[in-house]
Structure 1
Amino acid sequence: MALSMLPTSGSYLCTPLRAVHWGPGSISSLPTIIRSLVSSYDKNAQPTAMIITGKSLLEKTPVIGDVCKMLEKEGMFGGVFSEIGQHARKLVRVEFWVFAYPRDSGVQAIKQVKAAQKLAEDNKVNVLVSIGGGSPIDSAKAIAYFIHESSKSDNFIPHIAVPTTLSVAETTQNAGFTNEQGQKAGVNHPDNAPRAIIYDANLAMYTPLRLWLSTGMRAVDHAIETMYRDGAPPQIRHMAMFATKGLFEALEACKKNPDDVKIRQNCYLVAWESLWPLARAGALGLSHALGHKLGATYAIPHGICSVLTLPETVKLMSRNLEGNDLACLATAHAFLPTAYQGSVDKLGLDASAASEEAQRAAAHQVGEAVALLVKNLGLESTLKEYKVPEGDLEGIAGKVEDSKPDGAPYKKDQIMESILKKIY
């Protein structure tokens, strides 16, 4: 990012993240990480780790079984809480060989999170290990939050995140879940972020390709919306530009070679760059805000929400942004792979030096590029496909406008006409 685009003052707020381990086979470092985290606040405590995961990973892959055996061998296995669904909407069965807890698919997510909290407390668990996508990771954050609330302790129970998708929930302090009304809700605290992350591509090989690629689009969403998010430090925006380039290239490569473990490992690393650990609250931008309203209410997966909303959101923002935010989005055009740059003039690494017209053209092409990437990955979809009633669109737009940050450059009618109607 050119010097003319950098603010002269600002701040970067770190999360409590202490370690990130990556590479095929890096899950083997889990026992060492658990010991380190527990001993950092109680040297005499016996590490007892509870795994938070989903039904598919537990029943259809060897991933959870292998991790359980590893922890049992080290004397630190504290159980498995399984069947976490998209948006943490549906949890709960705890396997008979771990905890005896009844299945009730009708229980709302917040009640299920509370049930997991009680199991962790009753069994004196002192580490949470989430394995899976954004839902298990967010659920573990919520469990840690509620344990902290009930214990009145100064410390949060440490949480180790082991992602098997590219949603990048592991770098944030937000914890989303579905409330009793079936709406997206959540908790937020600086100490809620995971203390450690493990990116192991061997585990990612079990993730179905469509899910992997769609959550990769979620990472693209993170990267692009970071470029115009109010308060995003310049260093983070700069990293997001490189992440955009890396994600376009890595996701296309993975589509062509889904069984290449090195490509999947690379996807992890560029996704990590798309949402670098930063203590912050709230949605990144309009695409994310729309996803929050659509996902839990209509059971649309996290990644597909971004597939639906991001291309048209970026095009709208290209018309509405001003100043440095517009220049940052326009500069992202220079980071796109050549095949995605279209016929728009390249503005180099300092779009602020170009005319406003040229900036808006470059920023608009970023939206066109996202739409083309969605097509090339075979992820095109519509709201109608997910049975969103057309009569609900105005209400969705209204809810997004009602919850938008002060000064956000969009209005209800623009959300309706420029995004929701076009993706219906």
Structure 2
Amino acid sequence: MTTQQPRFTYEALPMRVVFGAGSLAQLPQEARGLGLRRLLVLSTHGQRSLAENAATLLGDACAGIFAEARMHVPADIAAKALQAARDTGADGCVAIGGGSTIGLGKAIALKSGLPVVSVPTTYAGSEMTPIWGLTEGGRKQTGRDRSVLPRSVLYDPELTLSLPVDVSVTSGFNAIAHAVEALYAPDASPVISLMAEEGVRSLAAALPAVAAAPRDLDARTEALHGAWLCGSCLGATTMSLHHKLCHILGGTFDLPHAPTHTVLLPYVAAFNLPAAPDAERALRRALATDDVPEQLARVAAELGAPRSLAELGLTEHDLAEVIAQAQSRPYANPRPAPADALRTLLTDALHGTLAH
């Protein structure tokens, strides 16, 4: 009997993770352990109170607060934050919040080399990746650089208890998308595939429980555990068609990041999984279903997520530009994505055919 022997390369990223309820209290200790004495605390305007809490914990080690993080990390905001870090004499940053704030911390690290401590409050997973993104002139540029990896990540489920259910659901599906693409990435490995399957399983179990009881700490802990695993998968593998399309839809059309991932994921899965049977089998196990795309669309809809790209503001007229950008610099994908196939996929997602 002859079997194909596996061949893969796995490279672990240098990450320190502190996980558990109440972990935010360890922020001063983590900063001292990294030799940081003046930290600029980053947040969105809406989460300034959380930034102030972090600043209080840091005491004299807080250099100031920059509460202007925005979705898709506009280049002008990143430049303003970098100048704030320089003006305050910061020797590091604390990024406390969701993907927008974590992304801003990465932009500062990319330009300055300043170390970042991340305290995620959603399930986006950006804190576990060396992937950075900047948006300028209607285009979102992304790249990989280990210099943007946070030096330490504090996962505190208590910080997610007040996360609105709608944000929790779409943020969770954003994380699931990371794992789905990791399963069919060209640089997948057995370690990452195991993490991806478990991450999807954890989030698929936790999100309905979170929706039913948003302040259930056990459910929140399980969801954050899944997000950590899914983010780790994204950090270790190559992005594919799903992420390419989401970057275009966010960077050019300013569609909201997590809802866009949520709406689009079932349609990209339906397109790619026939060419990725191992990934499909793993997702069937994780989701306890024989129809992965249908299950993803159904559960998202049942939990109140948007059902179509049209709901998010995309129009039929926009599809030509999305297709043109997707084909100009394509990401690795398990099967080719010609223009006609992309138009079918995007038209279905525009109208939410699977969700109905």
TM-score, length basis structure 2: 0.92
Provide Cα deviations, 1:40-99, integer angstroms capped at 9, x if missing partner.
xxxxxx6111111101111xxx42222111111xx20111111212212xxxxxxxxxxx
1:304 pairs with 2:304: no
2:329 is the counterpart of 1:393: no
Superposition CA RMSD, Å: 1.9
Partners in 2 of 1:383 and 1:15 — Cα distance? Answer: 34
The answer to whether the aligner puts 1:414 opposite 2:341 as a matched pair is: yes
Give the equivalent residue in structure 2 for 1:369: 295
Pick the aligned partner of 2:131 from 170, 174, 197.
Answer: 174
Deviates more, 1:167-176 or 1:122-131: 122-131
Larger radius of gyration: 1
1:298 CA drift (Å): 2.3
The equivalent of 1:266 in structure 2 is: 222
Q: Cα distance, 1:408 vs. partner?
A: 4.8
What is the number of residues matched between the two proteins?
Answer: 348
Amino acid at match of 2:55: C
Partner residue, 1:119: 84
Indicate conservation of the 8 Å contact 2:187/2:237, yes or no: no
1:295 and 2:221 are equivalent in the alignment: no
Deviations 1:94-123 (A, max 9, x none): xxxxxxxxxxxxxxx212211211221232
Identity of aligned residues (%): 26
**Deviation sequence 1:5-53 (CA, Å, 0-9, x none):** 872x322223231x21122211011001101112xxxxxxx61111111
Q: CA offsets per residue over residues 295-343 of structure 1, 9 Å max, x none?
A: 1222222111111110011111133x1xxx3223223212223xxx2xx
Aligned match for 1:132, one of 71, 87, 97: 97
Inter-partner Cα distance in structure 2 for 1:251 and 1:279: 22
Q: Which residue of 2 aligns with 1:103?
A: none
Which residues of structure 1 form unaligned runs of 5+?
Answer: 39-45, 89-108, 149-156, 345-364
Distance 2:67 2:281 in 1: 43
- After TM superposition, give the deviation of residue 187 of structure 1 in Å: 4.3
Between the aligned partners of 2:217 and 2:190, the Cα distance in structure 1 is: 32
Instruction: Render the CA deviation track for 1:146-183: whole Å, top value 9, x for unaligned.
Output: 113xxxxxxxx21111001100000011111211x122
Q: Which residue does 2:51 correspond to in 1?
A: 64
Q: Report the Cα distance in structure 1 between the residues aligned to 2:163 and 2:4, rounded to whole angstroms.
A: 39
Counterpart check, 1:333 vs 2:284: yes
Instruction: Give SS of 1:78's match.
Output: strand
Higher mean Cα deviation, 129-138 or 295-304? 295-304
Using the alignment, how far apart are the partners of 2:177 and 2:139 within structure 1?
22
Return the offset for 1:369. Answer: 1.2
8 Å CA contact 1:218–1:303 kept in 2: the answer is yes
2:54 is matched by which residue type in structure 1?
Answer: V
Whichever residue aligns with residue 345 of structure 2, its letter is S
| Of 27, 30, 43, the match for 1:30 | 27
Paired with 2:333 and 2:222, the residues of 1 have a C-alpha distance of 37
Q: Which runs of 4+ in 1 moved over 6 A?
A: none
Q: Which secondary structure does the structure 2 equivalent of 1:86 belong to?
A: coil
Question: For the Cα contact (< 8 Å) 2:130–2:144, is it kept in 1?
Answer: yes
Alignment CA distance shift 1:5-1:158 (3 Å): farther
Query: Structure 1 residue 403 and structure 2 residue 329: aligned?
Result: yes
CA deviation after TM superposition for structure 1 residue 278, in Å: 6.8
Structure 2 runs not aligned, ≥5 long: 352-356
Q: Is the partner of 1:13 in helix, strand or coil?
A: coil
Give distance in 2, aligned partners of 1:281 and 1:239.
12
1:216 equivalent in alignment to 2:185 = no
* Distance apart, 1:419 and its partner CA: 3.3
Residue type at the aligned position of 2:106: K
Contact 1:13/1:279 (CA < 8 Å) preserved in 2? no
Offset from partner CA, 1:259-286 (integer Å, 9 cap, x none): 112211211111111121675576x221
Per-residue CA distance 1:116-137 (angstroms, 9 max, x = gap): 1122123221111101111110
TM-score by length of 1: 0.78
Structure 1 residues 292, 407: CA separation in 2 closer, same or farther (over 3 Å shift)?
A: closer
Distance 1:274 1:12, change over 3 A: same
Partner of 1:104: none
Range 377-386 or range 168-177, more displaced: 377-386
Quick one: distance in 2 between partners of 1:10 and 1:129?
35
